[in-house]
Amino acid sequence: MSLCCALNYENIKKDRLIIHETNNYFVCPTLGSMGIRGYLLVISKEHFEGSGDIPQSLHEELDDIVNYSKARVKEVYGKESTVFEHGPKVGYCSGGGCLDHAHLHVVPGVDIIEEF
């Protein structure tokens, strides 16, 4: 894992922020969630710069943990979720809103399609 990676599995595990995990992924609440209760991140344990770098052999497990996360949000908050990735940060590691580690946002109550 690169030194600038803020999504380090061991640190997040140590801080007891993991809600659910599988062999290759974990789920935790996002930091800076803009006040949206239930906003989660699905993060790869192994370092990949973005979801496009995740090997095909891990896609089914990723789909499963995303679906699990969406179902839990629906169960707990009564809201459907939108899932997206806004991509890795390009260039120098300090600042910015993007991180150089594969992660998906699971945002309850936001329907991007309906907004347009």
- Block means of pLDDT (10 residues each) for the chain, 116 residues, are 57 78 93 82 89 94 98 95 77 57 87 58
State in words which class domain 9-115 has: alpha beta
Whole-structure pTM value? 0.80
Locate all alpha helices (DSSP H) within 1-116, ordered by sequence: 9-14, 59-77, 112-115
Predicted confidence at residue 30, as pLDDT, reads 85
Q: Pull the structure tokens for residue 2.
A: 């690169």
Predicted confidence at residue 35, as pLDDT, reads 79
Predicted confidence at residue 114, as pLDDT, reads 57
Long-range Cβ pairs for the range 79-83 (8 Å, 24+): 79/38, 79/108, 79/109, 80/108, 80/109, 80/111, 81/38, 81/106, 81/107, 81/108, 81/109, 81/110, 82/106, 82/107, 82/110, 82/111, 82/112, 83/42, 83/107
Predicted confidence at residue 63, as pLDDT, reads 98
Predicted confidence at residue 7, as pLDDT, reads 65
Predicted confidence at residue 72, as pLDDT, reads 96
Query: For the chain, which residues make up each domain, given as ranges?
Result: 9-115
